[in-house]
């Protein structure tokens, strides 16, 4: 009864060799969605850090380190409102939270663990850095802070000007930070920034068209290959899902629980453990595109306007783009991007129907609908299991969701409800 069209997943996906730099770049690109319209902040900060590190005379290893730490620095930010606050003010009282969260996220994935400490202190004044921090980490953290603030000023300048005009105003941009030498920023780091900023390329490469090329050019001169096991790949998935779920109280644990549900339902459907785990990763990341959806849209208690609905309907394709880059040659991006498709063709973004939607996607869709209904929403409280099933019965009757999979869910409703509502 259940077709399992999974043969096309190559067994090579038992693990993969990755380049840490490329992995950090891809993850950053995904997380930079939070910038909504300006979605290159993390990558620009990484590059700025690297260019300044050159002028500081740091060796290749340290330059590579700061490029990656710089790119990943804001991995604790998933709320568009927090992102806005961080752009509006040089120093903002609420900044500490995302530093702590970033540290925890990075610690959860061993290839990124070494960047956690620098990220933890990337909004701490130079004069207030904890004594016990070693000199190297102090410099890393403070260089990220400086580059980050420089980028924020640069980005706001860029909004109202042609890109080349920055060459005429670099003094003014740096000047805004000069009053903070010695307090917020270490003097020797600031001096190096001033030297770096004299080069035209420092500014021109920050342009979206040049940014990735500049980063890849820099990365290709380094060699930081490592082999990831399947466990590592899963924990990378978990790291990104924590960022997505932290976005809003209404999305807490959503990805994690959808992943657990998809894993359980796939088990009930007879999938082997390997394929269940791949589907679990798709569950963890299905909503990564929502990083781009403004918080106020996700948290709005009233009905959404057409414009807001259009923003929501964009997230599956954003997920696809990110996941194709992180997990090439796997069906993860496909499943994730189709989790709002319906069997009767009424879903989005592709409007697929019937056989165009494969079985793993149908499982993921049912897991997503079930979890969302079990979770508190801005416009209603958590529903009880029978209320949830009443709604889903109608969907099944209207031929929107897969009958066989839905029957499996119903037969195990209490256990799966517990999975769906678990916190932590």
- Measured distance CA(227)–CA(100) in Å, rounded: 28
In angstroms, rounded to a whole number, what is the distance separating the alpha carbons of residues 21 and 207? 20
Contacts (CB under 5 A) with Fe ion, residues 52-91: 74
Q: Which positions ≥6 away from 216 have C-beta within 8 Å? A: 25
Residue choice 32, 103, 139, 148 for contact with Fe ion (CB under 5 A): 148
> Which residue, 46 or 331, is less far from Fe ion as judged by CB?
46
Of 13 and 148, nearer to Fe ion (C-beta) is 148
Structure tokens at 211: 């940014």
23 contacts 215 by C-beta, under 8 angstroms: no
Which residue in 367, 362, 361 sits closest to 404, CA to CA? 362
CA angle 101, 102, 103 (to 5 degrees): 90
- With respect to Fe ion, which residue has the nearer C-beta, 41 or 170? 41
CB of 92: closest distance to Fe ion in angstroms?
A: 9
Does 338 engage in binding with Fe ion (CB under 5 A)? Answer: no
Pick from 254, 258, 259, 253: nearest CA to 278: 259
Q: Which stretch binds Fe ion (CB under 5 A): 53-61, 108-116, 145-153, 389-397?
A: 145-153
- Measured from the CB atom, the residue of 74 and 396 that comes closer to Fe ion is 74
Cβ 122 to Fe ion, closest distance in Å?
6
Question: Least separation, in Å, of the C-beta of 68 and Fe ion?
Answer: 15
225 vs 135: CA distance, rounded Å:
27
Query: In the structure, how many helices (H) and strands (E) does the chain have?
Result: 22, 2
Q: How far apart are CA 142 and CA 127, in angstroms?
A: 10
Q: Are 205 and 47 in contact (CB under 8 A)?
A: yes
When the beta carbons of 32 and 358 are compared against Fe ion, the nearer one is 32
Piece in contact with Fe ion (CB under 5 A), picked from 148-156, 299-307, 369-377, 410-418:
148-156
The CB-of-20 to Fe ion minimum distance in angstroms stands at 21
Residues 243-282 that bind Fe ion (CB under 5 A): none
- From the CB of 145, what's the least distance to Fe ion, in Å? 8
Of 74 and 103, the one with the shorter C-beta distance to Fe ion is 74
Cis peptide before 395 (omega within 30 of 0): no
User: Could you give the string, one character per residue 4-43, with x where binding to Fe ion holds by CB under 5 A and - elsewhere?
Assistant: ----------------------------------------
| Site residues (CB under 5 A) for Fe ion, limited to 281-300 | 287
> Which range touches Fe ion (CB under 5 A), out of 17-25, 146-154, 346-354, 405-413?
146-154
Nearest to 311 by CA among 334, 295, 326: 295
CA angle 7, 9, 11 (to 5 degrees): 100
Our CB check for Fe ion shows the closer of 74 and 295 to be: 74
Binding site for Fe ion (CB under 5 A): 74, 148, 287
């Amino acid at each position: 009864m259940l077709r399992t069209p999974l043969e096309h997943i190559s067994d090579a996906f038992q693990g993969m060799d990755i380049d840490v730099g490329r992995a950090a770049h891809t993850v950053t690109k995904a997380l930079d969605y939070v910038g909504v319209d300006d979605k290159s902040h993390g990558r620009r900060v990484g590059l700025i850090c690297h260019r300044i590190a050159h002028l500081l005379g740091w060796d290749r290893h340290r330059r590579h380190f700061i490029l990656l730490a710089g790119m990943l620095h804001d991995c604790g930010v998933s709320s568009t409102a927090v992102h806005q606050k961080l752009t509006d003010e040089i120093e903002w009282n609420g900044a500490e939270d995302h530093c702590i969260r970033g540290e925890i996220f990075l610690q959860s994935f061993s290839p990124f663990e070494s960047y956690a400490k620098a990220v933890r202190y990337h909004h701490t004044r130079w004069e207030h850095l904890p004594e016990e921090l070693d000199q190297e980490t102090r410099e890393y953290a403070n260089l990220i802070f400086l580059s980050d603030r420089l980028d924020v000023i640069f980005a706001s300048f860029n909004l109202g000007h042609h890109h080349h005009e920055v060459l005429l105003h670099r003094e003014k941009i740096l000047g805004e930070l000069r009053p903070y030498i010695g307090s917020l920023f270490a003097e020797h780091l600031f001096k190096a920034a001033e030297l770096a900023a004299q080069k035209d390329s420092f500014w021109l490469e920050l342009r979206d068209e040049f940014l990735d090329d500049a980063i890849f050019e820099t990365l290709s001169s380094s060699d930081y290959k490592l082999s990831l096991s399947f466990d590592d790949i899963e924990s990378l998935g978990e790291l990104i899902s924590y960022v997505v779920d932290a976005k809003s109280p209404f999305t807490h644990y959503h990805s994690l629980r959808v992943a657990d549900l998809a894993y359980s339902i796939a088990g009930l459907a007879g999938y082997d453990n390997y394929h269940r785990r791949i589907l679990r990763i798709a569950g963890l990341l299905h909503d990564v595109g929502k990083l781009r959806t403004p918080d106020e849209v996700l948290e709005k208690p009233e009905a959404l306007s057409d414009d807001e609905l259009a923003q929501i309907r964009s997230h599956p394709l954003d997920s696809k783009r990110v996941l194709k880059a992180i997990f090439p040659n796997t069906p993860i991006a496909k499943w994730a991007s189709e989790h709002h498709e319906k069997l009767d063709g009424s879903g989005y973004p592709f409007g697929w129907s019937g056989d165009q939607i494969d079985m793993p996607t149908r499982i993921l869709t049912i897991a997503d609908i079930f979890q969302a209904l079990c979770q508190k929403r801005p416009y209603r409280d958590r529903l009880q299991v029978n209320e949830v099933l009443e709604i889903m019965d109608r969907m099944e009757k209207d031929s929107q969701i897969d009958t066989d999979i839905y029957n499996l869910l119903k037969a195990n409703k209490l256990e799966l409800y517990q999975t769906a509502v678990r916190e932590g």
